[in-house]
């Protein structure tokens, strides 16, 4: 069986697989590559991705090494006048992707005419992280900083079985499946890593099913259409998932907890009996946490702890005088402010003169010297970069300017509260007796 592109993408892109087309930072487009089989929807080259960087027939993206840079088609693909063409997966691609093509903005010309397309994209193999950035959102999703910590704390590792509810948009599902995969996708053994996912919204459940199928994860993700508050977590014909760990991203996790207990005389348990079970609930409000913890305590969960992941992204960049001046609204706006640039140059030179006056005979300060050189290199009377290296072999534009960092202007750190707990291993009278026998003090 073909393996999932999330687990083993192979060395090159192939027909029918999911690829993530990287357009620019934070801008990825998921694409199911279908195009080499000839005309699709009237396009001679098969499906085409139209972006503002140019047009990319799928046929140019198939059979290339993952990570390859692909240049825009120099041939008009016939996309003119066709806005929001459905992509290979049968859905309209997001608007900012299809707004596209310098070509569409030019006067109409016949298909087959050469255009001046010059952009490029990179074709990336899918990973849970990139999928989280690019997946079609049906709900709020769990992001990478949270799910990486959660998976670590609930001890998700190759071979374990996770219960997840609700499935939502499948962001957590994809990260979980990679964490538990242990190379036996066809086995029904309870040591086969697997995700048991539950979702009560019919449309979301169906979309998830489609995606799991398209990503070739059907042997590793078992998705059930279910209201877990009322119907619990047993799967087909009342079988137990025998889960080692649980992740609940539900509005009322405390309503699901009574179904996550050890077996009783008249009730099967969805949990693995011979191990401790690790749980995380994910709730945005503290009132939800309070209710959840109360029920956890009643049901024998231990080591209860609440954590919040306050993730903060730092932008590291070079500050260039006169060019790319950081502004209130953004960091990459070309200001071209000549007066400011010259003022900065004068200030730096003045500081250096002062310093050298003082430091004569005592050795020069390297930093100050560098500052002057850098500033001179960057600024000319018209505010343009004038580094003499610019046109030479040693030109390193990315090395110009002072290295600075900034945090995102609006830091929205709160996602949800993560409440962790452990349900200890079941301990029968026989196990107690056996342990007593083997214990040195019991002899």
Is residue 131 within the footprint of ligand SAM (CB under 6 A)?
no
Closer to ligand SAM by CB, 307 or 377: give it: 307
Question: Using CB under 6 A, which of 199, 211, 242, 378 touches ligand SAM?
Answer: 199
Bond prior to 166 in cis (omega within 30° of 0): yes
* Token pair recorded at residue 383: 């505010």
Cα separation, 409 vs 422, whole angstroms: 38
Is residue 169 within the footprint of ligand SAM (CB under 6 A)?
yes
Smallest separation, CB 243 to ligand SAM (Å)? 15
* Token pair recorded at residue 13: 């892109």
Closer to ligand SAM by CB, 88 or 168: give it: 168
Return the range that interacts with ligand SAM (CB under 6 A); candidates 24-32, 61-69, 163-171, 313-321. Answer: 163-171
Q: What is the per-residue DSSP string for 275-287?
A: S-EEEEEEESSHH
Is residue 420 within the footprint of ligand SAM (CB under 6 A)?
no
Question: Using CB under 6 A, which of 166, 185, 232, 401 touches ligand SAM?
Answer: 166
Question: Using CB under 6 A, which of 200, 233, 301, 417 touches ligand SAM?
Answer: 200
- What per-residue string of b and e applies to 90-101 under the rule 16 or more CB within 10 Å gives b? eeebeeebbebb
Closer to ligand SAM by CB, 140 or 261: give it: 140
* Token pair recorded at residue 42: 């009237």
* Token pair recorded at residue 180: 């538990």
Smallest separation, CB 150 to ligand SAM (Å)? 10
* Token pair recorded at residue 117: 């397309």
Closer to ligand SAM by CB, 35 or 232: give it: 232
Is residue 241 within the footprint of ligand SAM (CB under 6 A)?
no
Is residue 283 within the footprint of ligand SAM (CB under 6 A)?
no
Is residue 204 within the footprint of ligand SAM (CB under 6 A)?
yes
Is the Cβ–Cβ distance between 108 and 144 less than 8 Å?
A: no
Give the angle subtended at the CA of 291 by the CAs of 290 and 296, to the nearest 5°.
95
96 three-class SS: helix
User: Inter-axis angle of helices 338-359 and 366-378, to 10 degrees?
Assistant: 150
Name the residues that contact ligand SAM, by CB under 6 A.
139-142, 165-166, 168-172, 198-201, 204, 226-229, 249-251
């Amino acid at each position: 069986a073909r393996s999932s592109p999330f687990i083993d993408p192979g060395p090159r892109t192939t027909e029918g697989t999911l690829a993530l087309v990287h357009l620019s930072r934070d801008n990825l487009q998921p694409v199911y590559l279908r195009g080499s089989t000839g005309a699709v929807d009237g396009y001679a080259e098969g499906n085409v991705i139209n972006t503002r960087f140019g047009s990319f027939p799928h046929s140019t993206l198939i059979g290339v090494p993952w990570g390859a840079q692909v240049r825009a088609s120099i041939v008009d693909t016939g996309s003119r006048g066709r806005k929001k063409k459905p992509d290979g997966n049968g859905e309209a691609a997001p608007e900012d992707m299809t707004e596209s093509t310098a070509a569409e903005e030019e006067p109409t010309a016949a298909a087959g005419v050469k255009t001046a397309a010059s952009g490029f994209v990179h074709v990336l193999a899918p990973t849970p992280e990139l999928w989280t950035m690019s997946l079609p959102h049906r709900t709020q999703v769990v992001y990478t900083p949270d799910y990486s910590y959660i998976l670590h704390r609930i001890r998700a590792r190759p071979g374990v079985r996770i219960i997840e509810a609700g499935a939502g948009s499948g962001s957590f599902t994809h990260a979980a499946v990679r964490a538990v995969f242990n190379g036996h996708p066809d086995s029904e053994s309870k040591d086969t890593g697997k995700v048991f996912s539950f979702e009560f919204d019919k449309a979301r459940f169906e979309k998830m099913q489609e995606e799991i199928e398209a990503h070739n994860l059907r042997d590793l993700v078992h998705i059930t259409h279910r209201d877990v508050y009322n119907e619990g977590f047993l799967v087909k014909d009342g079988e137990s998932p025998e889960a080692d760990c649980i992740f609940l991203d539900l509005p009322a996790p405390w309503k699901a907890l009574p179904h996550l207990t050890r077996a009783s005389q008249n009730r099967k348990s969805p949990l693995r009996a011979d191990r401790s079970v690790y749980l995380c609930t994910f709730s945005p409000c503290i009132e939800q946490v309070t209710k959840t913890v109360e029920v956890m305590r009643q049901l024998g969960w231990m080591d209860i702890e609440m954590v919040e992941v306050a993730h903060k992204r730092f932008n590291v960049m070079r500050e260039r005088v006169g060019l790319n001046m950081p502004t209130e609204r953004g960091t990459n706006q070309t200001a071209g402010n000549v007066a400011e640039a010259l003022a900065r140059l004068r200030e730096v030179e003045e500081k250096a003169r002062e310093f050298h006056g003082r430091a004569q005979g005592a050795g020069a300060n390297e930093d100050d010297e560098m500052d002057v050189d850098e500033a001179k290199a960057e600024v000319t009377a018209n505010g343009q970069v004038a580094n003499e290296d610019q046109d030479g072999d040693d030109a390193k534009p990315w090395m110009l300017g002072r290295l600075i960092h900034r945090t995102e202007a609006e830091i929205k750190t709160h996602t949800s509260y993560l409440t962790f707990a452990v349900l200890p291993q079941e301990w029968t009278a026989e196990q107690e007796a056996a342990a007593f026998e083997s214990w040195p003090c019991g002899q």
